[in-house]
Amino acid sequence: MILLNKTTKFLYDDKSNHRLSWLVSGITASVYGLWAMFVFPGFRKVPWRLKVPYLPSSTTQTDNVINLLRGRKGKLVDLGSGDGRLVFGAAPLGFQCTGYELNPILITWAKTKALLLGISHNQATFVKKNFWEVDLSQYNNVTAFLAPGVMETLEDKLIAELRDDARVIVCRFPCPRWIPTCSEGVGLDQVWAYDIMHLKKSFLPKKKHY
């Protein structure tokens, strides 16, 4: 009798465990699906090693970028512009800003915000495009908040395309082989500025970057 009870309990537990693990897997898959839909739409053609998820800059990080842009002018590009916050921070300084972003939800949000803030098309433009496929030679200011895994590839692209008077400002993850001109902030909000003129003297680009 005791044996029977134990077996029945064991069978019952095994079935409910099975059901529970299906439920957990189902919930995990749905949550991941929703997350991927929001974070990675439009990314089908981007290789896995270059996929960068959306994570907004903090206010301090944005302020740090703005401080390293002071005194400069001309054209600015934000690589992976998200909801446009770096562009909206830079536009009032007089830059002609362009944000490249693959996520259609974020592009729509940034464009709507520009309209609501009364920011003209000349001050801020948002383009739904893979920035790895954009020739960046017309920009003399580049901002990027990306991921550690793409920074070396980014270095190769930028050094090959940018003019000598260009400045690159990266957030949170420094360029691994470049020596910064200056830096602002600490910890997760730290940003680094690199002047192409200084780098070109010491850094030889590789031909292929993508």
Ligand X SMILES: C[S@@+](CC[C@H](N)C(=O)[O-])C[C@H]1O[C@@H](n2cnc3c(N)ncnc32)[C@H](O)[C@@H]1O
Residue 181 C-beta: closest distance to ligand X, Å: 20
Strand order in the sheet with 167-171: 124-128, 96-101, 75-79, 141-144, 167-171, 191-195, 182-184
Name the residue nearer to ligand X (CB basis): 201 or 208: 208
Interacting residues with ligand X (CB under 6 A): 46, 52, 54-57, 78, 80-82, 85-86, 100-103, 106, 130-132, 145-146
Name the residue nearer to ligand X (CB basis): 46 or 151: 46
174: helix, coil or strand?
coil
Residue 22 C-beta: closest distance to ligand X, Å: 32
Integer Cα distance of 7 and 13 in angstroms: 10
Name the residue nearer to ligand X (CB basis): 40 or 200: 40
Residue 98 C-beta: closest distance to ligand X, Å: 12
Minimal CB distance residue for ligand X: 80
For the chain, give the number of residues: 210
Integer Cα distance of 177 and 186 in angstroms: 20
Residue 88 C-beta: closest distance to ligand X, Å: 10
Query: Residue 210's closest CA among 131, 104, 102?
Result: 131
Name the residue nearer to ligand X (CB basis): 93 or 197: 93
